[in-house]
Structure formats: structure tokens, C-alpha cells
Amino acid sequence: MTTENFAPVLQQLAAREGIDVSDLYIEGNVVFKHKDGWMTGTVCQIGTPYWNAAKTSAEVLARLRGQ
């Protein structure tokens, strides 16, 4: 999965966190969440089980949609 393809994974992470995907951003290999321009916490690091679960969900959804 390339950097350009992170959007589906971020969508899955946002759904798991109960936040809007626009409240997530990646810096280095860490996914952060922010609110009103302020960082409010970390979600996960790229490559951790939490990230990989979201990545797998995104890949399954893409296959179901025929992408």
C-alpha cells in the first residue's frame, strides 16, 4: 500500500475512533487526531496491529466494491 492509498485506511480508523476522517493526519509513521486545529491524541503507528486491522478492512471493502 502506497502513501496515496492511505485514505481508505484513514476512513476505517476514523470509523473505529468515531471521528471524522478530516480530523486525522499522518506525521512520520504516526496517525494523530486533532480537533479545531489542536492535536488531541495519537491513534496508532503505521504497521501496528490496529493499523493492519484497518488496512485489511479497507482492502476487503475495496474488493467487495470491485476496485
11 pLDDT above the threshold of 80: yes
Banded model confidence at residue 64, pLDDT cuts 50, 70, 90: very high
% of the chain at pLDDT higher than 90: 85
Please report how the helices 49-64 and 6-17 are oriented relative to each other, as an axis angle in degrees rounded to 10: 110
* Span between the terminal Cα atoms of the chain, in Å: 14
8 Å CB contact between 17 and 25 = no
Banded model confidence at residue 4, pLDDT cuts 50, 70, 90: low
45 pLDDT above the threshold of 90: yes
Banded model confidence at residue 3, pLDDT cuts 50, 70, 90: low
8 Å CB contact between 57 and 12 = yes
The Cα–Cα gap between 60 and 8 comes to 11
Runs of H (alpha helix) within 1-67: 6-17, 49-64
